[in-house]
Amino acid sequence: MSTPIIDARGLRKTYSVRGRGKDAPRTVEAVKGVDITVAAGEIVGFLGPNGAGKTTTLRMLTTLLDPSGGTATVNGHDLAKDPVGVRRSIGYVAQMGTTDPSAVAGEELVDQARLYGIDRGVAAERGKALLSGLDLDGIWERKCGTLSGGQRRRLDIAMGLIHEPTIVFLDEPSTGLDPQSRANLWEHIRRVRDDFDTTVFITTHYMDEADALSDRLLVIDHGEIVGAGTSDELKRSVGGDQVLLTASSADAAAALAAAATEVLGDVPHEIDGDVVRLTVPDGASALPTLLREMGSGHDVAGVEVRRPTLDDVFLTMTGRSLRDEEA
């Protein structure tokens, strides 16, 4: 990776919680010394269950919260020594958004730009182009409170981009949206990266979102990074794909398993009724080899390649399912 645009080493946050009533004061180790590296132009998904430490990490990287330890540079600016330089480089879209329901959308955008010393005329021009890129043409004169949930989240993103930051931090941007608006929002986030070359750091506890949107994933649990890589790399790290061959009968399954392992080598496999389940590093390339080389003497009634999901990754890394955590 060339010089990272975000480079955090041993970043840590411990909260002191005051005792109430009979409860003694205590400390919460929310983030336990994480290393984070992000390259320019990447979309990085920061995935973890509720309470894992995502927002705390994000608030430290955006200078909203002082770390208890560790160091970080964001766009080359040191978090502790040059917080203003960091703030100038970034946009931050908080979980709850910042727009006032009674304010007019266009004015909110212009006011936000003015905070960064941007001229009113330039702000209006930029704001209109941004709204257009986010499919929000026609909302300039609308009160924020009259917008749909999806439109409001896209306006929040426009607010985070109006000063043309190098990096935008999005904290759970699609929480509360219906599946269609979520998928639509992902498309817009990707377009922002493609059009403006903005680095996007996005926290989420939705696996499908992390999977669909991110170039690379960081998985956090209990304040520690438990996995990092592309979605494919992480899935491969949990032990590979499964190739399922359905035999014409349960009796034929043993012969099918023997033929398959003759071709693929001694890969882990099990027989469940008429189904032979083989574990291989890459199912998509193993399957054609298998069908070609096994010969025509085998009556294969069905084939399927099953790739691990991000939930399988999380389960392997933490012993728990992300779905259970969500529930």
Ligand X SMILES: Nc1ncnc2c1ncn2[C@@H]1O[C@H](COP(=O)(O)OP(=O)(O)OP(=O)(O)O)[C@@H](O)[C@H]1O
Contacts with ligand X by CB under 6 A lie at 15, 17, 28, 30, 48, 50-56, 205
Nearest CA-CA partner of 197 in 75, 76, 22: 75
CB 17, min distance to ligand X, A: 5
Q: Is 25 exposed, middle or buried (0-12, 13-18, 19+ CB in 10 A)?
A: exposed
* Structural tokens at position 76: 């080359």
Rounded least distance, CB 63 to ligand X, Å = 16
Per DSSP bridges, beta strands 300-306 and 241-247 are antiparallel
- Cβ proximity to ligand X: between 160 and 240 the closer is 160
Distance CA 122, CA 173 (A): 27
Using the minimum distance from each CB to ligand X, give the nearer residue, 175 or 309: 175
Q: Taking the mean position of all CA atoms in its chain, how far away is CA 281? A: 24
Nearer to ligand X, 55 or 166 (CB): 55
Burial state string for 83-104 with b = 16 or more CB within 10 A and e = fewer than 16: bebbbebbbbbbeebebeeeeb
Q: What is the DSSP letter of 239?
A: T
| Residue placing its CB nearer to ligand X in the complex, 53 or 308 | 53
CA distance 249 to 273: 8
Q: At its nearest, how many Å lie between ligand X and the CB of residue 92? A: 14
CA dihedral (164, 63, 18, 32) positive or negative: positive
CB of 95 to ligand X, least distance (A): 7
Which CB sits closer to ligand X, 30 or 34?
A: 30
Nearest distance, CB of residue 59 and ligand X, angstroms: 8
CB closer to ligand X, 55 vs 318: 55
Q: In the structure encoding, which two tokens stand for residue 120, read together?
A: 């009113």
Distance CA 134, CA 282 (A): 38
Whether the CB-CB separation of 32 and 100 falls below 8 Å is answered with no
CB-wise, 222 or 277, nearer to ligand X? 222
Cα separation, 66 vs 59, in Å, equals 8
